Amino acid sequence: MNTIKKIRFFWKPLVFFICLIPTILILTDALEITGHLSANPIEDIQDRLGNWGLRFIVLVLTISPLKIITGKNWIILFRRMIGLFAFYYVFMHFLTWAILEQNLNVSAVIEDIIERKFITLGLISLTLLFIMAVTSPNSIRRKMGVKWHQIHKSIYVVSVLGIWHYWWQVKIDAREPLIYAIIISILLLYRLLKFKKPTSSVR
């Protein structure tokens, strides 16, 4: 009981703040307090937010394997927050693209979504993350039962589409998306192997 309280009133706020640091750094860089944005600030903000979206997707996928490997069940208590941060960064990445990159030019946005396959992929990922985010409260989760688990398995799809989205937009140097792809492959493979065992509780 004591640990639960500690997690709720100390560790969770702390982790929440840590997860916000990338956002704070973008703002303070834009204001030239901690550093500066590149000569192409819109691209810089968009790339940083997208990268953090992908990193949080990786992070949320490491939580249940970590729980199993360490045997520390409290780890799972952070999963929802990390997942919501994944949605938050991907959504901010999308907003930067729509507002700053496209200036809310509806025809340009629609044209890009239809004609640029990597943007289509990004939008599908964002939609799935949005569905998971709005169904994340415990009350909704209880009401939805088994269906909730099925819906939230789409995080695996999101992780694959997210890397694909990144891979398709790099000009030629795919080393970074490759690193993400390797990490996510390991995390998905781990689940696949665990899933075969009937006693597994990995989701």
Partner 1 sequence: MRKRNYCKINSSEITSYNNYINRRKFIKSATLAGSAMMVASVNGANIPETPQGKLSDISSSIYSTDEKTNSIVDVTTYNNFYEFGTNKDDPYKNSKNFKTRPWSIEVSGHAEKTGVFNLEDFIKPHLLEERIYRMRCVEAWSMVIPWVGIPLAKIVKQFKPLSKAKYVRFETIHDKENMIGQRYRILKWPYREGLTISEATNPLSILAVGIYGYALPNQNGAPLRLIVPWKYGFKGIKSIVKMSFVEQQPRTSWEMAAPDEYGFYANVNPKVPHPRWSQARERRIGSGLFAEKIPTSMFNGYGEHVAHLYKGLNLRRHF
* Interacting residue ranges for partner 1, rule: CB under 8 A: 30-32, 36-43, 100-101, 103, 105, 108, 111-112, 115-118, 168-169, 171-173, 175
What's the sign of the alpha-carbon dihedral 150, 82, 24, 164?
Answer: negative
Q: How far is the CB of 163 from partner 1 (least distance, A)?
A: 16
Q: Where are the alpha helices (DSSP H) in the chain?
A: 2-6, 12-30, 41-70, 79-95, 106-115, 117-134, 138-144, 146-152, 154-169, 175-196
Which of 19/121 has CB closer to partner 1?
121
- Taking CB atoms within 8 Å and a gap of at least 24, the contacts of 127-130 are 128/154, 128/155, 128/157, 128/158, 128/161, 129/86, 129/87, 129/90, 129/91, 129/158, 130/87, 130/91
Which of 12/101 has CB closer to partner 1?
101
Q: How far is the CB of 44 from partner 1 (least distance, A)?
A: 9
Which of 18/99 has CB closer to partner 1?
99
Angle at CA 72, nearest 5°, toward 69 and 73? 110
The tokens for 89 are 């960064």
Q: How far is the CB of 32 from partner 1 (least distance, A)?
A: 6
Q: Are 64 and 79 in contact (CB under 8 A)?
A: yes
Q: How far is the CB of 126 from partner 1 (least distance, A)?
A: 19
The tokens for 47 are 């790339």
Q: How far is the CB of 113 from partner 1 (least distance, A)?
A: 12
Spatial distance between the Cα atoms of 84 and 71, rounded to a whole number of angstroms: 24
Which of 83/177 has CB closer to partner 1?
177
Q: How far is the CB of 39 from partner 1 (least distance, A)?
A: 4
Which of 69/182 has CB closer to partner 1?
182
Which of 7/98 has CB closer to partner 1?
98
Spatial distance between the Cα atoms of 169 and 166, rounded to a whole number of angstroms: 5
